[in-house]
Chain A
Amino acid sequence: MTTTPQAVRRASPRTRRTVTPPDPARSLLPDAEPVRLLAENGTPLPARSDYPEPPAEVLRELYRRMVLGRRFDTQATALTKQGRLAVYPSSRGQEACQVGAVLAVRDTDWVFPTYRESMALVARGIDPVEVLTLLRGDWHCGYDPTEVRTAPQCTPLATQCVHAAGLAHGEAYQGRDTVALAFIGDGATSEGDFHEGINFAAVFKAPVVYFVQNNKYAISVPLSRQTAAPSLAYKGVGYGVPSEQVDGNDPVAVLAVLTRAVAHARAGKGPFLVEAHTYRMEPHTNADDATRYRDGAEVDAWRDRDPVARLETYLRARGVLDDAAIAEIAAQAEAYAAELRTRMNEQPTVDPLSLFDHVYAEPTPQLIEQREQVRAELAAAHAEEGDA
């Protein structure tokens, strides 16, 4: 609005009619700058009434899970190098997003992760071995999605955005106050299903939080090739969806913004879009060579914005953490990694005949035939081994 109230009062009746109403789109737009509650060096910035700081004990838990999450991520990368995982997409550097987002939702809410959310899933409390099942090379998602209210990690880009809308609508339709949290990366916002998902959620006022981790690269393709928008958060306004952008390496801000977004959705006001500006410190996966598309100076600059160190500095200064507490959490993380290592070093047993399970509720006659064929092949191979 360019017209001040005083100007309206002074205007003649004739000119008063020309006063333009407030632009309905303005309230949907994100802040021009990402929301930030901690400076990069961990010192607090002025408090914001729209994004109140989470309680100290929650921030302590956020820190603890971020430390565990980072240790988990390092361990998973190491396991990949040892051949224990077929592939691992690291989210190192994105700890504030991975952990902050899942801390903002309830156990009874639903989470729709992508393949880069392993850390988020262990932060949600899912068994790390189950989380890594698929990446280990097995055929299923590892955990029971209905038990942990978490969809399988989604590989086809952005397709989970529509599932989240449908689930949230279905839950609301059945009178439950479940919120769906859909993760997505910057590259996948170019996919049609992102737009269809957010549009469906908006039209049906479905309680979904779309959380974009903008880590600047889709494998090698930089953000400038995904969008000409001022920021990805601006994609909300065209669908009538309020949005916000947040410093994705500021754990306090991520949790504060996500908490507000989840409350918005749960209150029946429809979906909310959050873009977090962060950075993927590691290559896309262990199979990627990031030196081909980004230089070391860029990576180093982001190293200085480390989210774990930022939160640690802040919580230490506030007296929420001390040396003993930090050492205790570090020890927990080491124990967590050691147990994961031990469990992942056990060779999993896979049963070829299980491939025929769960294709349909009941196998078709054709699948029964094929299962018998494989059973006979296995028996013959076994007999041959016995002879040799």
Chain B
Amino acid sequence: MATTMAKALNTALADALAADDRVVVFGEDVGALGGVFRITDGLQARFGENRCFDTPLAEAGIVGFAVGMAMSGLRPVVEMQFDAFAYPAFEQIASHVAKLRNRTRGALSVPIVIRVPYAGGIGGVEHHCDSSEAYYAHTPGLKVVTPATVDDAYSLLREAIEDPDPVVFMEPKKLYFASAEASLPTRNEPFGRAVVRRPGRDATLVAYGPAVPVALEAAEAAREEGWDLEVVDVRTIVPFDDETITASVRRTGRCVVIQEAPGFAGVGAEIAARVQERCFHALHAPVLRVAGLDIPYPAPMLEHTHLPGVDRVLDAVARLQWDDQPDARWAAA
């Protein structure tokens, strides 16, 4: 049946609420309104105001409240309305959510899910389109997950809610309303497994979240240029699946990492480094990155300049030293 990622996430929340009395859903506008993206649509009506409720508009409060509720034995799932609106909660996330298990030698855990609608491509005004995954991925103790397909959105969110550790669940906004065939409920590969979305022989495109459809589209377009590209969907940034990605790049010998976030010090840089460390002798070219520009997320009229698109990916693929010549881009340097 064709459905959207938004609906799949909504179904996952409903199924989790039905399956486990300890699950509670809260945040800003998640009650009667059903969330600004309608991800919590109908949950309050079905499960009551105790289990799905609105809070004061205070993100540190929302996350800190979830920490306390988790200490009392519950499993809160909280919504940050937009990526950049989650920043007030960062101290709670970095200092408590991520560390409480460690500081108490496992006596206290924080099995909460922090849902963050993130990234751009939706014509959002400022502060509505940040790709903030690197901040969380850089914080030991957090799991960081981002779906790229409709059925994976369902599967990963159910697993996030059941996971004993805190999960920052990054939802690519621009994929919310893309429709695909999906049979729910479904359970896919567990956390820590990347998935080959498209097999190919000549090079590996590694992507996550909103960059996965870009990678798939680029791989399709590359066929016309004679390149057979493999696309790997990272799915869970933490825990990271070195095994699947290493195996793919060792097979293809070439790798481009794609992310929407600014490239500098980003998750893509980490992936490129890891691939280089593990695949050096199998590589025919340096690992390249295609990323957002190192600028504040631009206004809607200019966001297409910032977002890594198919052309930029194909340009990178073209630079993978197919003729065994040095990359012209760095020749002048």
* A377 touches B (CB below 8 Å): no
- Interface range for A: 35 or more
* A169 touches B (CB below 8 Å): yes
Nearest Cβ on chain A to B183's Cβ, whole angstroms: 30
* B141 touches A (CB below 8 Å): yes
The reply to whether A168 and B56 contact each other, CB–CB distance below 8 Å, is: no
* B42 touches A (CB below 8 Å): no
Secondary structure of the A contact surface, majority rule = helix
Interface digits, B40-74 against A, CB 8 Å rule (1 contact, 0 not)? Answer: 00000000001000011010110111111111111
Interface centre among B70, B91, B163, B240 (most CB of A within 10 A): B91
Nearest Cβ on chain A to B7's Cβ, whole angstroms: 28
B residues in contact with A156, CB < 8 Å: 91, 95-96
Interface digits, B100-120 against A, CB 8 Å rule (1 contact, 0 not)? Answer: 111111111100000000000
The reply to whether B72 and A174 contact each other, CB–CB distance below 8 Å, is: yes
* A192 touches B (CB below 8 Å): yes
Known contacts A364-B238, A366-B239; A162/B102 CB under 8 A: no
* B199 touches A (CB below 8 Å): no
* B326 touches A (CB below 8 Å): no
A151 touches which of B71, B143, B192 (Cβ 8 Å): B71
* A260 touches B (CB below 8 Å): no
Interface digits, B228-251 against A, CB 8 Å rule (1 contact, 0 not)? Answer: 000000000011101100000000
B residues in contact with A237, CB < 8 Å: none
For A193, give the chain B residue with the smallest CB separation.
Answer: B60
The reply to whether B74 and A199 contact each other, CB–CB distance below 8 Å, is: no
Known contacts A162-B65, A196-B56; A361/B165 CB under 8 A: yes
Nearest Cβ on chain B to A35's Cβ, whole angstroms: 29
* B296 touches A (CB below 8 Å): no
* A196 CA to B243 CA, complexed, in Å: 43
* A166 touches B (CB below 8 Å): yes
The reply to whether A141 and B103 contact each other, CB–CB distance below 8 Å, is: yes
* B185 touches A (CB below 8 Å): no
For B64, give the chain A residue with the smallest CB separation.
Answer: A162
Nearest Cβ on chain B to A238's Cβ, whole angstroms: 13
For B107, give the chain A residue with the smallest CB separation.
Answer: A144
Known contacts A200-B55, A200-B65; A359/B74 CB under 8 A: no
For B92, give the chain A residue with the smallest CB separation.
Answer: A159
Nearest Cβ on chain B to A359's Cβ, whole angstroms: 6
B60 touches which of A144, A162, A358, A364 (Cβ 8 Å): A162
Nearest Cβ on chain A to B242's Cβ, whole angstroms: 7
* A170 CA to B95 CA, complexed, in Å: 21
The reply to whether B73 and A358 contact each other, CB–CB distance below 8 Å, is: no
Known contacts A196-B60, A200-B65; A358/B102 CB under 8 A: yes
The reply to whether B102 and A140 contact each other, CB–CB distance below 8 Å, is: yes
Interface digits, B199-226 against A, CB 8 Å rule (1 contact, 0 not)? Answer: 0000000000000000000000000000
A residues in contact with B69, CB < 8 Å: 166-167, 169-170, 173
B residues in contact with A174, CB < 8 Å: 72-74
A positions within 8 Å CB-CB of B: 110, 139-141, 144-147, 151-152, 156, 159, 161-171, 173-174, 178, 180, 192-193, 196-197, 199-200, 203, 357-361, 364-366
**5 nearest A-B residue pairs (beta carbon):** A166-B68, A162-B64, A170-B72, A196-B61, A167-B68
